[in-house]
Amino acid sequence: MSHDIIKNISINHKTKEVWFTSCSNNVYPHTPKKWHCTSLTEYYKENGLAALEKEILYNFMAGNFQKGTSDYNKSLSAYGCPQSGNEAVDYGYNREQAYANLLLYRAEKSVKVKVKVGDNFITKLTTRRAWHNSNVNDAKIFSLAEFNIIKKRFPSYEVTAVTA
């Protein structure tokens, strides 16, 4: 089954246009191209921004869009939505809840915290490893939304947030 690997989503609110930078997962090499999404542009013009964002979220939940670092994808990761096939429907996760979580994620991005694991603070974080030490001044500053993702990533550790 094919899906789009999303690199960037651009929404022009003045002209109500939606642009994607993406590539197909089954075409090699993966060379992202910027393209105008006419179907979502029309949807935005007819239904408004909130409906457009719900539609984009649903495409991530259904597995049509994958990867990327957009707020849409990160909010779904932070709040535990299944993101492949029809699992989103099976688990009762609807567009309204996904949109509420997106708004919460955006609000939490402005709150800055330092992440404490046991007695140490995280100083560097990659997809495979976390570096830490006990010096609070060396601690990396994360948003509260990123903290929620880190907390899910390390379920066996006592992870707490300290105001930055």
pLDDT at residue number 104: 84
pLDDT at site 149: 78
Residues 66 and 22 in one domain: yes
Q: Is-contact 98 58, C-beta < 8 A?
A: yes
Q: What is the pLDDT at residue 164?
A: 64
Question: Do both 86 and 130 map to the same domain?
Answer: no
* Displacement of CA 4 from its chain's centroid (Å): 15
pLDDT band, residue 113 (cuts 50/70/90): confident
User: What are the backbone dihedrals phi and psi of residue 87, each rounded to the nearest 5 degrees, phi first?
Assistant: -60, -35
Residues 37 and 84 in one domain: yes
93/145 same-domain check:
no
Instruction: Please tell me the pTM assigned to this model.
Output: 0.69
- 107-127: average pLDDT: 85
Q: Which residues contact 85 (CB under 8 A, 6 or more apart)?
A: 62, 63
Q: 51 lies in which domain range?
A: 4-108
Going 149 to 151 to 155 to 157, the CA torsion angle's sign is: positive
What are the φ/ψ torsions at residue 5 (nearest 5 degrees)?
-90, 110
What is the structure's pLDDT at 14? 93
pLDDT score for 41: 94
- pLDDT at position 77: 75
pLDDT of residue 93: 57
SS3 127: coil
Q: Tell me the pLDDT tens digit for each residue of 86-111.
A: 444 444 557 788 888 888 888 888 78
What is the pLDDT at residue 86? 47
Query: Both 101 and 118 in a single domain?
Result: no
Please answer whether residues 98 and 61 qualify as being in contact, where contact means their C-beta atoms are separated by less than 8 angstroms: yes
What SS3 state is found at 51? helix
Domain total of the chain: 2
Q: What pLDDT, on the 0 to 100 scale, is given for residue 91?
A: 46
Higher pLDDT, 144 or 43: 43
Domain shared by 71 and 127, yes or no: no
pLDDT digits (tens, 9 = 90+) for 2-54: 777 888 889 999 999 999 898 888 888 878 889 999 999 999 999 999 999 88
User: How far does Cα 121 stand from its chain's mean position?
Assistant: 24
What distance in Å separates the CA atoms of residue 32 and residue 6, rounded to the nearest whole number?
8
Is residue 71 located within the same domain as residue 120? no
Percent of the chain with pLDDT over 70: 90
- 131, amino acid identity: W
Same domain assignment for residues 34 and 80:
yes
